Every structure is written in C-alpha cells, then in structure tokens.
Amino acid sequence: MILHTLNRAPDSAAFRDCLRFLTADDALLLLGDGIYAALKDSSSSEELAVTGASLYVLEADASAAGIVNLLGNDVTLVDFAKFVELTEHFPRQQAWH
C-alpha cells in the first residue's frame, strides 16, 4: 500500500521506474507533467492499466493542460484537499520526479 506520485511526462526515466514498481495495492497520483500519462488513448495509460494501481490526477494541472475530457474512465480527479486525504490514507509515499 504505497502512494506513488509522478510529476514527469511519460517519456521520462521517472515514469519508467515508477511503472516497474507499481502494484495493484498501490495508488498513483499524477501531477505536473505526470498527468499526461493518463491520456486515454496513450501508450502510457495502457501500461498503467496493466499494473492495477488506482489512478488519481490533480485537477488543477489537468485543467491547465486542457486534458480533463481526454482522461481515461478509470482515472479519478482530485483537488488539493483530496490529495491530503490520500497521503493520510497511505502510510508511505514514494515520489518519482
């Protein structure tokens, strides 16, 4: 049960490393440039789906990027308050950056 965060685009080594260690018990919160990994028809979103991890995207960043309506159905948008709740729910956090 780890909360992972990723703020780098899917082309990055950070994304590759994150992908290797995600498990179905984990949650991944995407923020900054990390949000693009959840674009619904992208190769990265397929790779993330295979892990079984729960996917969260920071809403402020998704709105800025214009991708709120381009995200996959399995993605949950979160605001900053929900972000804090996630960190409370998961005892450990791993930041990929």
Partner 1 sequence: MPSNAKNSLLVVVRHSPYGSSVARSSLEVALAAAAFEQPVGLLFVGDGVLQLIPDQEPSGIGVRNIAKLIQSLPLYDIETLYADEQALQRYGLDPQTLPQQLLPLNTAAIQALFSNYDHILSF
Q: How far is the CB of 47 from partner 1 (least distance, A)?
A: 11
C-alpha 71/C-alpha 91 separation (Å) is 27
Residue 81 touching partner 1 (CB under 8 A): no
C-alpha 29/C-alpha 3 separation (Å) is 7
Question: What does DSSP assign to residue 68?
Answer: G
Instruction: State the amino acid at position 56 in one-letter form.
Output: Y
> Which of residues 70, 76, 77, 94 is near partner 1 by CB under 8 A?
70
C-alpha 23/C-alpha 65 separation (Å) is 27
List the structure tokens of 97: 């950056």
Q: How far is the CB of 25 from partner 1 (least distance, A)?
A: 27
List the structure tokens of 38: 């959840």
Residue 77 touching partner 1 (CB under 8 A): no
Q: Which stretch binds partner 1 (CB under 8 A): 7-15, 19-27, 49-57, 87-95?
A: 7-15
List the structure tokens of 57: 């995207």
> Which of residues 2, 9, 77, 86 is near partner 1 by CB under 8 A?
9
Residues of this chain that interact with partner 1 (CB under 8 A) are 9-11, 32-33, 36, 39-45, 60-61, 63-67, 69-70
